[in-house]
Chain A
Amino acid sequence: MSMDNKAKIGEYLSRFFPVQDLKDDDDIFQLGFVSSMFAIQLVSFVEHEFGLTIDNDDLELDNFRSVGALDAFVTRKQSAAVAS
């Protein structure tokens, strides 16, 4: 399951960055490719793709920093949604 999410996230991010293979822990903010348009698009992608709602409490850059961080964030949100 998690691998599927990772693949989806990886493919989405790879559209925006001129790198061949984005590694799990590559920091997309440090790579310097994040524009304000991209920041909102990324929020929108995660909500749309994984059926989540991201609110101001989730808006930690650490949740969005890399493929691995996004995958962990999505898994956390999805299990929280199941639990509630």
Chain B
Amino acid sequence: MTSTLTAAQAQAQKEFRAFADRHIVPHADAYHRAQRTPPQIVELLAAEGLLGLPVAPQYGGGGCDAVTLGLLAGELGRACSSLRSLLTVHTMVAHAVARWGSRELKETWLPRLARGESIGALAVSEPGAGSDAAGVVTRLTPDGDSWLLDGHKTWTTYGESADVFLVLGRSPEGPTAVLVERATAGVRTELIEDLIGIRASMTADVHFEGCRIPAGQVLARPGLGLSHVVGTALDLGRYTVGWGCTGIVDACLEASVDYAGSRETFGTPIKDHQLVRQMISGMYTDARAARLLCLEAGRLRDEGDPGALAQTSMAKYFASTAATRAAADAVQIHGANGCSSAYPVQRYLGDSRVMEIIEGSSQIHQIGLAEYAFQERSLVRRRQAAATPRSEGR
């Protein structure tokens, strides 16, 4: 597997893995039960430079390539999907600022985000608008040199603890993205508890009431907040979620192999039962396939290839569905133990369900990916038609 990685990427993966095994794996079930991420682990991630890994070095980040960021998301996902979600939303905000922010916004925010001094979160979904982000009704009203922001956002991952929000609202010009500091008067957050998965992710409702937003806090320009700013952020989000799902599959595989090798039924280790082997074989294959799709998405991203968007969508779609298959089978292999809180597979099951809903539900990707298949085929037909000389007399 590492043969497709450069020496530096393989070394980085080893370090991410060691970090996750040492600092996160032993505590992830406790975070899950407490439904909280302790600030200390976020501080440790920041101190290690992991929250600013993809930010350009000129802003104090690690300047890593997409493949390396993916490897980090994979290792965090194997350990704890909540902390992988933190990496996802935080880097989505940093990426959107780097891509579409003014020079001033980049100089103000990127160093803070790179150092993890400020944690970023994405406030797009609303009670009445999820996958259909064009339906947001949060209002951005021009008022002199600034904007007034009013609305209710929900499902904001790490919304309860984030310092700055990338908010999608609607201005007279159309969908508009603004950066809003938590300290702004009129911002209020409420923790959402008892989620099925990513239970430590401090997911919150975020209310904006008459928040005054300076004009300079707009990313790109009014009207392009969804097509360009949120679109850019979601593309990166899909990428790190896809990788995080490869981590879930890896974790399910490791847990299942260990358990099946030690647990006996009918006088034999359950690993010798053919139907158990079938589940493990499926997981093993899915783990490799998901990883290869994510690696390919990373390679295309690093090359700046426009095909990276479709490849990222495919990788996220496959990896998240593979994660739900793997988690369901891992629980099955663990039997009643898998249903208990004594084993982490129960956590993987809830987390993987969330992964099929966020950053484009499986159905959204199914619709989009079919469109790419039609486009590719029509391009081939067009090229064939252009290459075949028309016969004169038919």
* Chain A residues at the B interface, C-beta cutoff of 8 Å: 14-16, 18, 34, 36-37, 39-45, 47-48, 55-56, 59, 61
Answer whether residue B71 sits at the interface, using C-beta atoms and an 8 A cutoff. Answer: no
* Chain B residues at the A interface, C-beta cutoff of 8 Å: 100-102, 219-221, 223-224, 226-228, 230-232, 234-235, 303-306, 308-309, 313, 368, 375-376, 378-379, 382
Q: How far is the CA of A82 from the CA of B282 in the complex (A)?
A: 54
Task: List the A side residues contacting B228 at CB < 8 Å.
Answer: 36, 39-40, 43, 59
List the B residue with the shortest CB-CB distance to A37. B309
List the A residue with the shortest CB-CB distance to B218. A56
Q: How far is the CA of A34 from the CA of B175 in the complex (A)?
A: 15
The 3 A-B pairs with the shortest beta carbon distances in the complex, nearest first, are A36-B231, A44-B306, A39-B227
List the B residue with the shortest CB-CB distance to A29. B227
Name B's interface SS: helix
A15-B375, A39-B228, A43-B228 known; A56+B100 contact, CB < 8 A: yes
Task: List the A side residues contacting B305 at CB < 8 Å.
Answer: 44, 48
Whether B306 and A59, one on each chain, are in contact in the complex, defined by CB atoms closer than 8 angstroms, is no
Whether A40 and B232, one on each chain, are in contact in the complex, defined by CB atoms closer than 8 angstroms, is yes
A40-B232, A56-B102 known; A15+B379 contact, CB < 8 A: yes
List the B residue with the shortest CB-CB distance to A44. B306
Whether A56 and B221, one on each chain, are in contact in the complex, defined by CB atoms closer than 8 angstroms, is yes
Q: How far is the CA of A44 from the CA of B310 in the complex (A)?
A: 12
Task: List the A side residues contacting B379 at CB < 8 Å.
Answer: 14-15
The distance from the CB of A57 to the nearest CB of chain B, in whole angstroms, is 9
Whether A37 and B306, one on each chain, are in contact in the complex, defined by CB atoms closer than 8 angstroms, is no
Q: How far is the CA of A45 from the CA of B219 in the complex (A)?
A: 21
Offer 26 A-B interface pairs, CB within 8 angstroms, sorted by A: A14-B379, A15-B375, A16-B375, A18-B378, A34-B227, A36-B226, A36-B231, A37-B313, A37-B368, A39-B227, A39-B228, A39-B231, A41-B306, A41-B309, A42-B306, A44-B305, A44-B308, A45-B306, A48-B306, A56-B100, A56-B101, A56-B102, A59-B221, A59-B224, A59-B228, A61-B223
Q: How far is the CA of A49 from the CA of B363 in the complex (A)?
A: 31
Q: How far is the CA of A11 from the CA of B226 in the complex (A)?
A: 26
Whether B235 and A40, one on each chain, are in contact in the complex, defined by CB atoms closer than 8 angstroms, is yes
18 further A-B pairs in the complex, CB-CB below 8 A; given A34-B227, A36-B231, A44-B309: A15-B375, A15-B378, A15-B379, A36-B226, A37-B309, A37-B368, A39-B224, A40-B235, A44-B304, A44-B305, A44-B306, A47-B304, A48-B303, A56-B220, A59-B100, A59-B224, A61-B223, A61-B224
List the B residue with the shortest CB-CB distance to A39. B227
A15-B375, A56-B100, A59-B221 known; A37+B231 contact, CB < 8 A: yes
Q: How far is the CA of A15 from the CA of B381 in the complex (A)?
A: 11
Q: How far is the CA of A47 from the CA of B101 in the complex (A)?
A: 18
Task: List the B side residues contacting A61 at CB < 8 Å.
Answer: 223-224
Task: List the A side residues contacting B231 at CB < 8 Å.
Answer: 36-37, 39-40
The distance from the CB of B169 to the nearest CB of chain A, in whole angstroms, is 16
Q: How far is the CA of A39 from the CA of B305 in the complex (A)?
A: 14
Q: How far is the CA of A17 from the CA of B31 in the complex (A)?
A: 48
Query: Which of A16, A36, A45 sits near B227, CB closer than 8 Å?
Result: A36
Whether A14 and B382, one on each chain, are in contact in the complex, defined by CB atoms closer than 8 angstroms, is yes
Q: How far is the CA of A41 from the CA of B232 in the complex (A)?
A: 10
Task: List the A side residues contacting B368 at CB < 8 Å.
Answer: 37
Whether B100 and A40, one on each chain, are in contact in the complex, defined by CB atoms closer than 8 angstroms, is no
Task: List the B side residues contacting A18 at CB < 8 Å.
Answer: 378
Q: How far is the CA of A5 from the CA of B356 in the complex (A)?
A: 40
The distance from the CB of B123 to the nearest CB of chain A, in whole angstroms, is 17
A15-B379, A16-B375 known; A56+B219 contact, CB < 8 A: yes
Task: List the B side residues contacting A45 at CB < 8 Å.
Answer: 306
Q: How far is the CA of A43 from the CA of B232 in the complex (A)?
A: 10
The distance from the CB of B299 to the nearest CB of chain A, in whole angstroms, is 14
The distance from the CB of A51 to the nearest CB of chain B, in whole angstroms, is 9
The distance from the CB of B103 to the nearest CB of chain A, in whole angstroms, is 9
Q: How far is the CA of A78 from the CA of B275 in the complex (A)?
A: 61
Task: List the B side residues contacting A43 at CB < 8 Å.
Answer: 228
Whether A36 and B230, one on each chain, are in contact in the complex, defined by CB atoms closer than 8 angstroms, is yes
Task: List the A side residues contacting B309 at CB < 8 Å.
Answer: 37, 40-41, 44
Task: List the B side residues contacting A41 at CB < 8 Å.
Answer: 306, 309
List the A residue with the shortest CB-CB distance to B219. A56
Task: List the A side residues contacting B102 at CB < 8 Å.
Answer: 56
